[in-house]
Amino acid sequence: MKNERIIKLDSTENLRELGGYQTTDGRTIKWHKLLRSGSLGLLTPTDQAFLAAYGVRYDVDFRSGQERTTAPDAVTTDQIEYRFDPVFDEDRTDNSQDPAEFRQMLEDNPNYAHDHMVDVYQRMVLNDGCHDAYRRFFKILLQNDQPNQAILFHCTAGKDRTGMAAVFLLAALGVDLETIKQDYILTNQVVKDLVDQKMAAVRADGFSETAIRNLRELYTVDLDFLDAALATINEHYGSLDQYLSDVLGVGTAERERLQTLYLEPNHH
């Protein structure tokens, strides 16, 4: 199988490889080890077989119980072990309130989506339940010690809860912040056609341009969201490195172990 950053399957969105990224000390993340994606609830047997052949051993699901009940991961192959690891007890990244009220907010407040998502990201780095989820994620990463075995981690859109998981993981592996931000914002390129279709549909439904801009912001990522999370980390915990060790339990020993597992060995 070839090494591709963006993997196009018919039945899941925003499936991407973390392989090939460089660390600050010149090492490279191994390919076919770390995958991020959106929901696997509609996974076809063909795409399941592709993921199994790709080497996926663990499927880490960051969604809430309610999201899982609505669209359980369609992973039935014995090779892939399912791990339920909810970041929030409900989906804070989306809106489960009354559709009419929700639409009214989108129409009335041009900053609704931006402010809401900044708040979600701040909560993601401060909330105890979120800390627990990302700690469990690192425990699974540290268990994945067989060669040719990959971990796939996902939420519903594969951009916020999954996006922060990728930020923490890439930082722990020693990738620089600029590359981490590039990986984070890549979502917008990958989901562009899908989001454009959704926007055309709500426009046809008579939503105002203010509401459509809000919805686009909810369906995509913005560096403002990630910057809000990083600023909150710096303010409350000192630095991302300190956050990894003090909050997520990823200290020097764990980082070295992760680097052994997921980086190509140094050849000099």
Tell me what pLDDT residue 100 has: 86
Considering only CA atoms, which of 25, 33, 51, 58 is closest in space to residue 262?
33
Which residues on neighbouring strands pair with residue 36, listed in sequence order? Answer: 16, 153
Mark the ranges of the chain whose per-residue pLDDT is less than 70: 91-97, 267-268
pTM attached to this predicted model: 0.95
Across 8-17, b (16+ Cβ under 10 Å) vs e yields ebebbbbbbb
Task: Please give the pLDDT value at position 268.
Answer: 55
Predicted local confidence at residue 77, as pLDDT: 82
- pLDDT at residue 113 in the model: 95
Which residues pair with residue 6 across a beta bridge?
16
Amino acid, single-letter form, for residue 200: A
Strand order in the sheet with 15-17: 6-7, 15-17, 34-37, 150-154, 56-61, 81-84
What is the rounded CA–CA span in Å between residue 68 and residue 65?
5
| Residue 184: predicted pLDDT | 98
At 249, give phi and psi (nearest 5°): 70, 25
- What pLDDT, on the 0 to 100 scale, is given for residue 97? 63
What does the alpha-carbon distance between residue 90 and residue 210 come to, in Å, rounded to a whole number? Answer: 26
- The size of the chain, in residues, is 268
Quick one: pLDDT at residue 96? 55
What's the pLDDT at 93? 56
Q: Pull the structure tokens for residue 77.
A: 């192959």
Task: Tell me if 217 sits within 8 A of 55, measured CB to CB.
Answer: no
Q: Answer yes or no: are the C-beta atoms of 122 and 237 closer than 8 Å.
A: no
Query: Which amino acid, one-letter code, is at 168?
Result: F
Contact 38, 156 (CB under 8 A): yes
pLDDT of residue 266: 78
Among candidates 156, 168, 99, which has minimal Cα distance to 130? 168
pLDDT for the residue 211? 96
Is beta strand 150-154 parallel, antiparallel or unpaired with respect to 34-37? parallel
Residue 49 has a pLDDT of 94
